[in-house]
A and B are shown apart, each in its own frame.
Chain A
Amino acid sequence: MMYVPERPPVEYKGLSLAIVRLATKWGPAGISLLLRFAWGVFFAAIVVLVTFVWAVRRFINPLLPWFIRDVVVVVGLLAFVCIVAIIGIWGERKVSGRIQSRLGPMRTGAWHGWAQSLADGLKFVQKEDLIPRDADQPLFRLAPYVALVPAFCAYLTIPFSLGWVFRESDVGLLFVLAMLAIEVLGVIMAGWASNSKWSLYGAMRAACQLVSYEIPMGLSLLAVVLSVGSLNLIELGRAQEGGWFSWLIFRNPFLFLAFFTYYIASLASCKRSPFDLPEGESELVAGFHTEYSGFRFVMFFFAEYVAMFAVSALATILFLGGWNSPVAGLCSPLWFVLKSAFLVWVQMWFRWTLPRIRIDQVMHACVKYLLPLSLLLFVGSSLWQLYDNRAHPAFEGFAGLLHYVLGGVGLLLLGLFFAGAGYGYYNRNRLVGSMVRKHLPGA
């Protein structure tokens, strides 16, 4: 029970001693670092070599510009995904702080703690790499990658705007859904490999929840696909050109409801509150990543935020007009990012407002309500599509009218939201209480 000194530093012997001595004697820290990560350097060299050979072969190929474009776009996407996760994690803490009449991170970085998630990430890189003795080592190491990499791959076919896409694919939607579905494999892997009962509970909850909610999620999206007639995400975005009223969510009442079923199912598939059972802190200590520390944990964290943005991006493209602005004609990737960020923000809003559902209620909500409803919406939308054409002029007129009514309802909802927010902001002294604001740390 008494105090045990910390682990002694690593002893260097033989070749490694020579290398370390050489490196430190020569001074520059960089060389020493490189030598310490000799394995990494070795693999990096192989990768560079292979790429170089490939590039040279491409050089005598007329497709070189495309290759360069691919590399640039992939690097850009990676950077974008990292920024999304970093801003998402920081934003989550700021949003939670503001909802809870706190401030959130303020000190890290000069302005409103903007560098908080950078510091978190860098710290976690420095943490000890812990693998429990009884854990299934290969799976334990593999799981974070299985969770993070597919979530990133989903972005390969998500168009940010016309032409702003890595690969335009005719089955883009299916690809994104498939990639998002792989994440559950990583979660189950993590839970199983940790050899901890809490992790196992988290993994089992994740398995039954994520797999079941795939179905209403897919069905809601299929309703959209049927009404446009394409799985190509670019085509789906193109179908919504022409401003607010041509967004697919306002196309017909079934799609209007399908947006909400999709959004609820996407909350569940991202493990967001109120469906955050797999990592529910007050029940399962930290759920499936209970035994993960350091950078592996960060990867799970990253995967969550990357997936959050991905499902929101899907909702934006399929329902909310994608990169099209509410006013016709001004399409820009900025709109796309803005709308998706809004949906991510709503997810955070939910997270800090609602309690958590119980596991049986999660399944009831899916099987008893969401699944039949989305099936109904799918059938309804198909039937609507069948009659909404020139052959049925009367119905077409009715459909057009309803289309504008729905658009009006959407405008009204948005207006009410902003009105409520503005009312709350202007009366913040009265609503929160002047006693509170007087004592807040930033006041």
Chain B
Amino acid sequence: MGLIEGIFEPGLVVTSVDWVLNWSRKRSIFPMTFGIACCAIEMMAAGAARFDLDRFGAGAFRATPRQADLMIVAGTVTFKMAERLRRLWEQMAEPRYVMAMGACAISGGPYHLHAYHVVKGVDQVVPVDVYVPGCPPRPEALIEGLLRLQDKISTRTIAKP
């Protein structure tokens, strides 16, 4: 959205357009099918019958980064994985969001000490929008993280800063 951002004076028209654009963005967050470790199981559970991420319009898991909006880093990122993760993030189209799911993705979690091959926090590799703590976070926590991401999206505007 580099095309129309930041060139308008704030006003009724602009805020209404903002509302529509943000509504569509936050109501249709397509996550990427990208599970790394334990948290991926909870991510799958969140997409399955009882929790049903699809209710919030975020159930269409896309396997290719090109079509995904949200990368849920679900698990421990290792040094070997870090550059792949970075590349996947680079392949995603703007606007893109990253959610660090679980203690490992936030800070290394249980692997913070003594582990010689674990990235201590995925925010060293990609910029993170939402942190969802837990080891692993419950699916409810993931959904809460998604809702917080929706809140974050709805603050974006195309008006001049």
Interface residues of A (CB under 8 A from B): 1-3, 6-7, 9-10, 20, 23-24, 27-30, 32-33, 36, 93, 97, 100-108, 113, 115-116, 118-123, 126-130, 281, 285-286, 289-294, 297, 436, 439-441
Interface locus among B2-10, B35-43, B106-114 = B2-10
- Asked if B63 is at the interface of the complex by the 8 Å CB criterion, the answer is yes
Q: In whole angstroms, what is the CA distance A289 to B93 when docked?
A: 14
Other than the given A24-B160, A29-B11, A29-B14, 20 more pairs (CB < 8 A) read A1-B83, A3-B125, A3-B127, A7-B2, A36-B4, A97-B52, A102-B52, A105-B54, A105-B57, A106-B56, A108-B28, A121-B24, A122-B24, A123-B28, A126-B1, A286-B67, A291-B66, A297-B67, A440-B50, A441-B55
Q: In whole angstroms, what is the CA distance A27 to B60 when docked?
A: 39
Indicate whether A100 sits within 8 Å of B9 (C-beta atoms), given known contacts A120-B28, A126-B24, A290-B64: no
Q: Give residues of chain B (1-55) contacting chain A, Cβ–Cβ below 8 Å.
A: 1-9, 11, 13-14, 17, 20-21, 23-25, 27-28, 33, 48-52, 54-55
Q: In whole angstroms, what is the CA distance A120 to B30 when docked?
A: 9
- Give chain A nearest CB distance to B73 CB in angstroms: 14
User: By DSSP majority rule, is chain B's interface helix, strand, loop, or mixed?
Assistant: loop
Q: Verify B50–A130 contact, CB threshold 8 A.
A: no
- Give chain B nearest CB distance to A191 CB in angstroms: 13
- Give chain A nearest CB distance to B51 CB in angstroms: 7
Scan B48-85; emit 1 where CB is below 8 A from any A CB, else 0: 11111011110110111011010000000000001100
- Asked if B86 is at the interface of the complex by the 8 Å CB criterion, the answer is yes
The one of A9, A36, A100 in contact with B6, judged by C-beta atoms closer than 8 angstroms, is A9
- Asked if B129 is at the interface of the complex by the 8 Å CB criterion, the answer is no
Q: Verify B67–A36 contact, CB threshold 8 A.
A: no
Q: Which residues of B contact A36 (CB under 8 A)?
A: 3-4
| Least CB separation from A284: chain B residue | B63
Q: Verify B49–A440 contact, CB threshold 8 A.
A: yes
Q: In whole angstroms, what is the CA distance A105 to B28 when docked?
A: 10
Q: In whole angstroms, what is the CA distance A290 to B63 when docked?
A: 8
| Least CB separation from B20: chain A residue | A122
- Give chain B nearest CB distance to A271 CB in angstroms: 16
- Give chain A nearest CB distance to B24 CB in angstroms: 3
Q: Which residues of B contact A2 (CB under 8 A)?
A: 124
Q: Which residues of B contact A115 (CB under 8 A)?
A: 27
Q: Verify A1–B93 contact, CB threshold 8 A.
A: no
- Asked if B130 is at the interface of the complex by the 8 Å CB criterion, the answer is no
- Give chain B nearest CB distance to A283 CB in angstroms: 10
Q: Verify B8–A128 contact, CB threshold 8 A.
A: no
Q: In whole angstroms, what is the CA distance A115 to B20 when docked?
A: 12
Q: Verify B49–A100 contact, CB threshold 8 A.
A: yes
The one of A33, A97, A108, A286 in contact with B63, judged by C-beta atoms closer than 8 angstroms, is A286
- Give chain A nearest CB distance to B45 CB in angstroms: 12
Q: In whole angstroms, what is the CA distance A294 to B69 when docked?
A: 10
| Least CB separation from B21: chain A residue | A126
Which size bracket describes the interface of B in this complex? 35 or more
Q: Verify B54–A119 contact, CB threshold 8 A.
A: no
Indicate whether A293 sits within 8 Å of B2 (C-beta atoms), given known contacts A105-B57, A119-B27, A441-B50: no
- Give chain A nearest CB distance to B96 CB in angstroms: 8
Q: Verify B64–A127 contact, CB threshold 8 A.
A: no
What are 19 A-B pairs at a CB distance below 8 A?
Answer: A3-B123, A3-B127, A7-B2, A24-B7, A24-B9, A27-B11, A29-B13, A29-B17, A103-B54, A104-B54, A104-B59, A105-B54, A108-B27, A119-B27, A120-B60, A127-B93, A129-B93, A281-B63, A297-B66
Q: Which residues of A contact B54 (CB under 8 A)?
A: 93, 97, 102-105
Q: Which residues of A contact B25 (CB under 8 A)?
A: 123, 126
Q: Verify A441–B51 contact, CB threshold 8 A.
A: yes
Q: Which residues of B contact A122 (CB under 8 A)?
A: 20-21, 24, 28
The one of B7, B11, B86 in contact with A1, judged by C-beta atoms closer than 8 angstroms, is B86
Q: Verify B50–A119 contact, CB threshold 8 A.
A: no
- Asked if B126 is at the interface of the complex by the 8 Å CB criterion, the answer is yes
- Give chain B nearest CB distance to A192 CB in angstroms: 17
Q: Verify B3–A3 contact, CB threshold 8 A.
A: no
Q: Verify B94–A127 contact, CB threshold 8 A.
A: yes
| Least CB separation from A436: chain B residue | B49
Please list the 6 inter-chain residue pairs (A to B) with the smallest Cβ-Cβ separation, ordered nearest first: A122-B24, A128-B94, A293-B66, A128-B93, A119-B27, A293-B93
| Least CB separation from A21: chain B residue | B7
- Give chain A nearest CB distance to B68 CB in angstroms: 9
Q: In whole angstroms, what is the CA distance A20 to B160 when docked?
A: 13
- Give chain A nearest CB distance to B147 CB in angstroms: 10
Indicate whether A107 sits within 8 Å of B56 (C-beta atoms), given known contacts A24-B8, A126-B24, A130-B66: yes
Q: Verify B55–A106 contact, CB threshold 8 A.
A: yes
The one of B7, B60, B82, B93 in contact with A93, judged by C-beta atoms closer than 8 angstroms, is B60
Q: Verify A286–B62 contact, CB threshold 8 A.
A: yes
Q: Which residues of A contact B127 (CB under 8 A)?
A: 3
| Least CB separation from A121: chain B residue | B24
| Least CB separation from A97: chain B residue | B54
Q: Which residues of A contact B160 (CB under 8 A)?
A: 24
The one of A29, A104, A440 in contact with B8, judged by C-beta atoms closer than 8 angstroms, is A29
| Least CB separation from B143: chain A residue | A441
Q: In whole angstroms, what is the CA distance A36 to B8 when docked?
A: 12
